[in-house]
Structure formats: C-alpha cells, structure tokens
Amino acid sequence: MTNGNAIAVIEVKVKAHPEDVNALEKKVENFKKLFPIYKDYTIYGGLASLTMSKDVKSKLLEKGLYAIKKQGDHVEVASPK
C-alpha cells in the first residue's frame, strides 16, 4: 500500500503468533532490498490479525511495527512510539 512518499508492508493473519513478529521484521528488511525504487519512501511495517495476544502486540510495538486487530465491529490500530 502506498500513499505519496510512504509505503506500508502489512502481513495479514487469522491468528497472530509471536514468531510472526520476527518474520514480519525480516520481510520489511527484504522489501527494502528487493524494491530499491522505494528507498526514499518512509516504510511502515504492520501485522493485521483477527486475534492477537497482548504479548504479540507488545512485541510488535517494541520493534517499531504496527499492530492491527479486529475489535468488535471495528479495527484497532496500535502504533509504535
């Protein structure tokens, strides 16, 4: 997903697992290498899931990644600091 000079790499899962965080981190790094055309873009990484534990959410945020999950009838997006 791109918008102006920003691009988001979002992994979509039914249920997020702790090992998905490290895998996503590697995918974001690989994206930068595989698509050098986006080298001047701000790149955001995130994991979207129907269910996500607090541990997975915390791990994502600690690594500077976004946590996106279903919360009732809407979607909750938690951004890293």
The number of angstroms, rounded, from the C-alpha of 32 to the middle of its chain's C-alpha atoms is: 14
For 15-55, what is each residue's pLDDT tens digit? 999 999 999 999 999 999 999 999 999 999 999 999 999 99
For residue 69, the tally of other CB atoms under 10 A from its CB is 19
Domain that holds residue 14: 2-78
Q: What is the pTM of this model?
A: 0.90
Task: Give me the number of domains the chain comprises.
Answer: 1
Q: Give me the long-range contacts of 60-67 (CB less than 8 A, separation at least 24).
A: 60/21, 60/24, 63/21, 63/25, 65/21, 65/24, 65/25, 65/28, 66/8, 66/10
